[in-house]
Amino acid sequence: MLPLVSIIIPTFNRAHLIGETLHSISAQTYQNWECIVVDDGSTDDTENVLRDYIQKDERFKYLKRPEHRKRGGNAARNFGFENSKGDYINFVDSDDLIHPDKLKLQLAVLEDDETCQVCLSEAELFSGSQRRKKKSKPLEGIDFFEDYILRNIDMGTLQPLWRKEFLASADVVYDEKLKKAQDYDFFSRMSFRPDFLHCTVNSVLVFVRAEGKGRIKDLQNNPEGITSHLQAYYKTNLLVQERNDEALYKKHINVFLRKMLPYINAKDCDIALGFLKKMKDSAYKDDPKYKKHFRRILIMVTLLKYSGFRGYSIFKRYYFLK
């Protein structure tokens, strides 16, 4: 019997776009799938769009996030996962598209190599208005955990096809406390596991819509979003320290600090100061030189806060670990 693939789509007010996503799923050359759409409280015509698809194809299922569950895509993904019946899982966003052969090609690789827990693919960005495309970075010869956390490779929600039993054995699939950078946290935790082994189809199998996606500038006036974004990087840094690799620790701290810098520049100093203190208190092996660095940066950010940001250019010069 052919394995069942569960495609899980969280959505919120995407009635004008989700039809394209569902059509790309209907067009799959591999036919043994179910598609679970979890509505996070839409107020537009999403439900009627789904009803039309369900009438034509019973493999589509429409669920509403229960009232007692947190709002947001993470809880919707988890709820869809809990209600899935497939042997394999593909998370998809409700405005993106997948190649007709995506399931067929990735499933063939996973079925051929039982040691692999996930099959990756490449992606292209597209704009609905101008159709400009940008291909993701190559995935050949990578150390997934290291290359991903250092942002040397791109990986989005919908590119991988996962074995369900691998995800089910995790303490948590998506962290429902995070509002931003949930993929960064998710991929970091999954790839850190000792039983993680990936394989790859080195072809573009997903198409990610460029407009409407979250950007750092969208978070600058949203303290909850800023905190979630930095919390995901902080959680990953604690994993990095378990690797006991000082060179990787330095590299990741600098990635983390780079992510924090725009928020400081936007004068969200209090949030940054909170994370800098946490970084000082959890410095690598309690090494005095790292504690000293974070203590110095804490003082500099505090001075920036109370001096009207005088000396910001000097501050940036000494912000990163050498």
CA distance 161 to 199: 10
Spatial contact of 89 and 161, defined as CB atoms under 8 Å apart: yes
Domains of the chain: 5-209 (3.90.550.10), 216-317 (no CATH)
pLDDT digits (tens, 9 = 90+) for 210-246: 865 443 344 445 788 899 999 999 999 999 999 999 9
* Ramachandran quadrant class, 23 (left: phi over 0; alpha: psi -120 to 50; beta: rest): alpha
pLDDT for 1: 84
pLDDT for 132: 61
pLDDT digits (tens, 9 = 90+) for 295-319: 999 999 999 999 988 888 889 889 9
Which three-class secondary structure state does DSSP give residue 162? Answer: strand
pLDDT for 130: 59
Mark out the alpha helices in the chain (DSSP H runs): 18-26, 46-56, 73-82, 102-112, 144-149, 164-168, 182-192, 216-219, 223-242, 246-265, 269-281, 288-306, 312-317
In angstroms, what CA-CA distances link 320 with 269, 272, 281, 310?
17, 14, 17, 19
Residue positions counted in the chain: 322
* DSSP structure class, residue 63: E
In angstroms, what CA-CA distances link 87 with 1, 54, 64, 162, 165?
12, 22, 23, 9, 8
CA distance 114 to 197: 10
The residue type of 269 is: C
172's tokens: 């948590």
Below-70 pLDDT ranges, the chain: 129-134, 211-221
CA distance 283 to 291: 6
DSSP lists the bridge partners of residue 35 as: 7, 60
CA distance 164 to 93: 18
pLDDT for 218: 46
The reply to whether the predicted model has a pTM over 0.85 is yes
pLDDT for 212: 56
